[in-house]
Amino acid sequence: MSKKIVFIGAGSVRYTIKLIGDLAKTCELNNVDIGLMDIDEERLRATHILAEKYSEELGANLNIQSTTDLEEALKNADFIINTALARAEGHEDGYVQYEIVRKIGEEHGYYRGIDSQEFNMVSDYYTLSNYNHLKMSLDIARTIEKVCPDAWLLQTSNPVFEITQLIKDLTKVKVVGFCHGYAHIFKVTEALNIDPEKVDWQVAGVNHAIWLNRFYFENLNGYEILKKWIKDKSEKWQPKDPWDVDLSFAAIDMYEFYGMLPIGDTVRSGTWKYHYDLETKKRWYGKFGGIDNEIERPKFYDQLRKTRSKLIKLAEELRENRNLKLTDVAPEIFPESIDSQEQHIPFINALINNKKARLVLNVENNGTLKNLPDDIVVEIPVTVDESGIHPEKIEPDLTDRIKEWYLMPRILKMKWALEAFKTADLRAIEEILLRDPRTRSYKQVKGVIKDILDLPFNKEMKNYYS
């Protein structure tokens, strides 16, 4: 019987297309059934048209169906990839809401938004306890429990840590969190001019908070290579783009304090030392100030919208001209051969066809990271095969400073956010903000919460916390 893979939030056109490309290039999975689901009919139609044509060009035989009905999409599903982003009615995407909320936050003295707290990504998620994302993701998981309880849920949309933990805590769904941040290890090896194929590495932590605990190159200690780079080249470092922060001054500063190098988005989520204002961000992250600021983040959103519009237009052109070849007209989006570094398809292939794969996934700790709670979701290297997920032994262990100064506070923040959501207690939201380094008074906390809850698209959240 053919296996079925469902994409929830398939209207994220480019990301879905990337994974369809991975599927099409995986010969063992060329005959799977694909279900595309999104509430946005225009984007869903565009994704369907482009996915069919792209897989056809790559020589795959994917059976693709699409629907706006979640239960219909989930029928007979074996794997569900959730990339859905909560979006309020009347807004073209969730990013508009992000910027509206950030503006309110800044008016109340919370630079770069309400969720810019220490030990979290800077203003990249929804407001307060992430109510909208948590509610939507939990609803999806409970529908999976009802319609296809044996399916795997591959949780991809952020915040991966909070959502994966919530679903694990409140449902029986087989949930695993996915993030491509681990792949920044290869950006580090590129900067250090060493062959990644010859590197023995491990990363460990929680999502967006992972550290390079093992680093060897041809049996040499890779950290000695890094120290030499810091001594000889770090002062001349400049970012290529706003996302290029892997060996930034902030990354090196965190390495020198914590004893291991932060990897991927971890570099962006240090303390407020790196984020007080735009000038401070530029001092630590180079000329762009990283991606998490009032200049570069809106540019990024605008580029996403332009790409989406381009893809929707391309889909309409394909309806008129099926001879159009995607790999010719937009090779940057529809490559004939490339490793996306996404882990979803290798994970599925390993479970179905025993194509053993080493991946970095978000799974329950169960003693893998010592001195951290067993029941929390951690991000660690694992081997996946037809018998399941097998965590690696973490050697060497993370430093005490990483665990006690970084991971435990981050885990506590996750627990606080979920406590607020589970209990619908607005006082928990207040207490989180009272611990925020930007807070100067209780009046400030009450004011910013009121203004955010009074936004028209937050009506459901306001009623929930009332």
Query: Binding site for Mn(2+): what residues are annotated?
Result: 179, 208
Provide the residue type at 94 as one letter: G
Q: How many CA atoms lie within 13 A of 271 on its CB side?
A: 10
Say how far apart CA 308 and CA 46 lie, in whole Å. 10
Buried b (16+ CB within 10 A) or exposed e, 256-268: eebebbbbbbbbb
Give binding residues for substrate as ranges: 158
Give binding residues as ranges: 158, 179, 208
Bridge pairing between strands 209-217 and 357-364: unpaired
The CB density around residue 145, as the number of other CB atoms within 10 Å, is 16
CB 420 within 8 A of CB 128: yes
Q: Enter the DSSP assignment of 234.
A: G
Say how far apart CA 126 and CA 93 lie, in whole Å. 12
- Catalytic residue of the set 93, 244, 265, 292: 265
Known active-site residue 124: no
CB 250 within 8 A of CB 270: yes
- Catalytic residue of the set 33, 180, 385, 397: 180
Q: How many CA atoms lie within 13 A of 432 on its CB side?
A: 30
DSSP secondary structure letters along 179-212: -SGGGHHHHHHHHTT--GGGEEEEEEEETTEEEE
Give the three-state DSSP class for 64: strand
Known active-site residue 265: yes
E strand or H helix at 212: strand 209-217
Give me the active site residues, please: 180, 265
